[in-house]
Structure 1
């Protein structure tokens, strides 16, 4: 997110731009068609600032670095997922946490799985004993 905060007047002005879907205090959500068009124009040699200026954006308002940052991000998406990538929202999808930093061999995987099973079996035994102790305490309370 940007450190810039848009006031009400700036938000209204940005919302009038056909290339903007939504504006909040701190962010601008751009139209997917604009993203694709901007990436294609950039690939043909147009600079990010020129693209944004030609499409009605005031660089003083959105920030001088914003066009470069946006196009860098959009180019990466375009290269990875193609044109369709600009039309779909992927934030939060496919994130499975931090990947393991080392590749495990079959023997290591087996050992890790066996350790996990042993831990779960010990936990189960502990819970069974705890359950039995709770039952005994409840029976003593009744008498």
Structure 2
């Protein structure tokens, strides 16, 4: 992960770029189309900094190394999986685990929280009944 932390203005600037899929304060996700185009242009002889600058990125914001490292990673993916490797975002999908997606709606998060509360409440009631039954059993013995 990059050591660069983007501020609000930089995030807004990056989000306006059509080659950006999403931005957080620490990372940029580029569109698959941009990745393919960048790899092809690089294979035709263009350097990473030129490719990113022509695509509308300010290298003082994202960093010159970000352009180099991203393109290096995309070229590796292109060599192993071809164009499909860049078009299909496989990150985090091999094992099915990982962190939840951040674009989860508030309604869905609320519904999950309410379901968890309902489950925990039922569990507490069950434990109370069990304690009561154990107390009765001790008194009869």
In which range does the TM-score fall when normalised by the shorter chain?
0.5 to 0.7
The residue aligned with 2:25 is 25
1:45 and 1:74 map into 2 onto residues whose CA distance is 15
State how many pairs are aligned.
Answer: 98
1:31-80 deviations in Å (ceiling 9; x for gaps): 00000000000000000000000000000000111111000000000111
Which residues of structure 1 form unaligned runs of 5+?
Answer: 96-142
* TM-score, normalising length: structure 2: 0.65
Gaps (5+ residues) in structure 2?
A: 96-140
- Corresponding residue SS for 2:2: coil
User: What's the secondary structure of 2:29's corresponding residue?
Assistant: strand
Partner of 1:35: 35
**Larger radius of gyration, structure 1 or 2?**
1
TM-score, with structure 1 as normaliser:
0.64
1:45 maps to what in 2? Answer: 45
**C-alpha deviation, 1:93, in angstroms:** 4.9
Displacement of 1:22 in angstroms is 0.2
Q: How big is the shift at 1:85?
A: 0.5
Cα RMSD of the aligned pairs, angstroms, is 1.5
Measured against aligned partners, the alpha-carbon deviations of 1:118-141 in whole angstroms (never above 9, x if no partner) come to xxxxxxxxxxxxxxxxxxxxxxxx
Q: How far apart are the structure 2 equivalents of 1:35 and 1:46?
A: 14
What is the match of residue 98 of structure 2? none
What's the secondary structure of 1:46's corresponding residue? Answer: coil
Cross-structure match for 2:89: 89
- TM-superposed CA distance for 1:13, in Å, is 0.3
Structure 1 segments, 4+ long, off by >3 Å, are: 92-95
